[in-house]
Structure 1
């Protein structure tokens, strides 16, 4: 399968299901070569720049959904409780994000979908951020109606995040309060409205290697602008609290496989990389296909400091994508 992987460099066409599965099953001895090919694919089809993003939670906790990995669900005994962020704090978070060199600021809410209060708060927050700092504003507010999609588009939200989380076949073991199809339908409406689609998931949710490959191909069909790769960081009080952390080599196999399935896509390091990969693995992934990172903390867990990530990018001679390049 190495020949098929190398062909992606020349054609820019992602691997099929069998090809992705072969990468996910590769031996430890083969892994460095697959990572090297994935890096060559990234450099050929995406270039050397790395897009940097910060995220902030506008509404934390108290979510009515039962996503088994999430400490923000109001159905579990995790210690996260419902909190709303005020507009000045939202603006300050955007300023701090921009100060790192990030071009992307994503406003997230722990909800099934936005109600009118949340839409109003978001509109006020977007207006205040635009007066204070020059940065792209993305949003992640759960499942949307067509009217809400139109409102977000009118606000100038240029990218919308809504993760499918895992393969369609595995989704019912992870979430029971809504369906994979409902998430897919939201993503289709977002794309049709002209916003960029950001859609990825979490690896290590108990899925099989075959389901991991299935997920990569389903993302390939969706063809999102960005795919955030999260690795499960088991949270106390959630149904997956005892799930083992993904083996770091399996995580790197997934980085290579998802890059080779999605040669032209922003592949972003997201939550859980610190506990799964550590410093050395983070470096290996950046040299194995990753070309975007979330800097700073995540929604309910701590990340690496922005300074650490920016220093690593500088060491690897990977320039941070400028704001003008993202418009």
Structure 2
């Protein structure tokens, strides 16, 4: 059988066609001593089809905790005995967070809320927040507010929100083991509406939630079919009080194989380092991932977990000679 990395070199690097589900599974099941080869090829693919620039993003929680859904990985669910409590961020604090994000050189600022979907109070807060940020800061605004109706999609697009994040989280076949209060299909419906409205689609998930390696390949293929503008790749950082609190952390080699495989399945997509990389990969692994297909990064802290200091990530990009993507938008 022809080596899968040779196939990928011709198909993905040469032609720009991502690996299919079975091909992706072959990358995911490579022996650990082939990880450097897979990462090197993924880096070449990233450089050819995306270029050297890295998109930097900061995120902030507008509404934290008290979510009615039972996503088993999430400490913001009101159904679990976790230490996170419900809280709202006011508009001045939201603007301050946007300013601090822009000061790092980031071009993306994502407003996140722990909800099934936005009610009128949340939509009003987002409306006021987007206007206040646009009046104060030069930065692109993204939102992650759960499942949306068509009217809400239209309103966010009219506000000037240019990208919407709604993760499918895992393979369709594994989703019922992760969430029971809504379906994979409901999430997909929101993404379809967002895409049709002309907003950019940000959709990824979390690796290490009990899925099989074959289901990771399934998930990569489902994302490729959706064709999102951005895929945030998270690794499970088990949170106290959640059903996944005792799950093991993904091993470094396994995480790096996943990064390479997703790049080879999604050659033109923004592939973003998101939550859990600090626990799973540490400093050395973070460097390896940036040299293995990742071309976007969240700086600073996440919603309920600590990230690496922004300065360390920015220093790493300088050391690797990866320029930060410049702001480009129409107000």
Aligned residues: 327
Match for residue 240 of structure 1 among 237, 241, 244: 244
Q: Whole-Å Cα distance in 1 between the matches of residues 299 and 330 of structure 2? A: 17
* Aligned ranges 1:149-298 → 2 under 5 Å: 149-298=153-302
Q: Whole-Å Cα distance in 2 between the matches of residues 184 and 18 of structure 1? A: 23
Runs of 4+ in structure 1 off by over 3 angstroms are: none
Q: Whole-Å Cα distance in 2 between the matches of residues 324 and 65 of structure 1? A: 36
Secondary structure of 1:149's partner?
A: helix
Secondary structure of 1:72's partner?
A: coil
Q: Whole-Å Cα distance in 2 between the matches of residues 282 and 136 of structure 1? A: 25
Displacement after TM superposition at 1:324 (Å): 2.2
Q: Whole-Å Cα distance in 2 between the matches of residues 280 and 202 of structure 1? A: 21
- Name the residue aligned to 1:104: 108
Gaps of 5+ in 2: none
Secondary structure of 1:323's partner?
A: coil
Structure 1 residues 72 and 326: CA distance shift in structure 2, 3 A: farther
- Name the residue aligned to 2:54: 50
- Name the residue aligned to 1:321: 325
Q: Would you say the 8 A contact 1:196–1:225 is kept in 2?
A: yes
Q: Would you say the 8 A contact 1:5–1:34 is kept in 2?
A: no
| Residue 8 (structure 2) pairs with residue 5 (structure 1) | yes
TM normalised by structure 2 equals 0.98
TM normalised by structure 1 equals 0.99
Q: Whole-Å Cα distance in 1 between the matches of residues 329 and 260 of structure 2? A: 25
Q: Would you say the 8 A contact 2:140–2:329 is kept in 1?
A: no
Q: Whole-Å Cα distance in 2 between the matches of residues 56 and 325 of structure 1? A: 21
- Name the residue aligned to 2:310: 306
Deviation per CA, 1:106-136: give whole Å up to 9, x if none.
0000000000000000000011111111000
Deviation per CA, 1:197-219: give whole Å up to 9, x if none.
00000000000000000000000
Structure 1 residues 52 and 288: CA distance shift in structure 2, 3 A: same
Q: Whole-Å Cα distance in 1 between the matches of residues 214 and 329 of structure 2? A: 36
Displacement after TM superposition at 1:28 (Å): 1.3
Secondary structure of 1:55's partner?
A: strand
* Aligned ranges 1:114-133 → 2 under 5 Å: 114-133=118-137
Structure 1 residues 200 and 326: CA distance shift in structure 2, 3 A: farther
Instruction: Please report the RMSD computed on the Cα atoms of aligned residues, expressed in angstroms.
Output: 0.9
Displacement after TM superposition at 1:237 (Å): 0.2
Q: Whole-Å Cα distance in 2 between the matches of residues 300 and 80 of structure 1? A: 8
Gaps of 5+ in 1: none
Q: Would you say the 8 A contact 1:103–1:326 is kept in 2?
A: no
Higher alpha-carbon deviation: 22-31 or 196-205: 22-31
